[in-house]
Amino acid sequence: MSLPLVVAITGATGVIYGVELLRALKELGQETHLILSEAAGMNFAIETDYSLEEVRALADVVYPNKDIGAAVASGSFRTRGMIVAPCTVKTLSAIANSFTYNLVVRAADVTLKERRPLVLMVRETPLHKGHLELMTRAADCGATILPPMPAFYHRPESIMDIVHQSIGKALDQVGIEHNLFRRWSGRDRGAAAPEAPASERGAGTRSGSRDALRVATG
């Protein structure tokens, strides 16, 4: 049996990255332990058609962000890593400085000290020097900084195709096999299989996405 993956959703715009990550992992049969920040809960209503209850239902285990005594707060609880999607600059700052004031940051700190993969999908733009220095500091501690920067070689046909490419890159970092986007296979051959766009793919690759998603600006 594979180890669980910790998923955290914080209050940056782009909570759909966390939702679609959970949906993909559920279809892949990967156990997930979810931590939601308070601001993330508000953003579901602003940016998507998902309720907080629907998002919680996508995970196997859900922890309150104030529960510092949760299983994922200890290094003795084994996981295969952690993805924060999206990651606010506030959360990035706390992780970079080991300021473990809530469970999201404590779980991330545990992931780093245990030398497990930690992926931070930082969602902010533009970036000033302080933001970049925080990213460097977190990377020096072992985190992977993975802002959701879309690729276009695979010719995305929907918002969800763009979202899936970013979360697919995050899954690559924690060693989870998936079929979420077309991979590049060389200049002469272009993007590799799957042949169908994400909106048409079946189980195990992400189906039933809500392309009526309301995307917040900024």
Lowest mean pLDDT among 68-77, 154-163, 178-187, 195-204: 195-204
**Which residues share a beta bridge with 120?**
84, 145
Q: How confident is the model at residue 186 (pLDDT cuts 50, 70, 90)?
A: confident
pLDDT at residue 213 is higher than 70 = no
Q: Look up tokens 């809500």; give the residue.
A: 210
pLDDT at residue 218 is higher than 50 = no
For the structural domain made of 3-172, what CATH number should be given?
3.40.50.1950
Stretch 122-136: mean pLDDT, rounded?
98
| Token reading at 96 | 């970079």
Q: What is the pLDDT of residue 150?
A: 94
pLDDT at residue 14 is higher than 70 = yes
The answer for 208, left when phi > 0, alpha when psi is -120 to 50, beta otherwise, is left
Domain edges within the chain: 3-172
pTM: 0.88
| Token reading at 62 | 């859900």
Stretch 9-29: mean pLDDT, rounded?
98
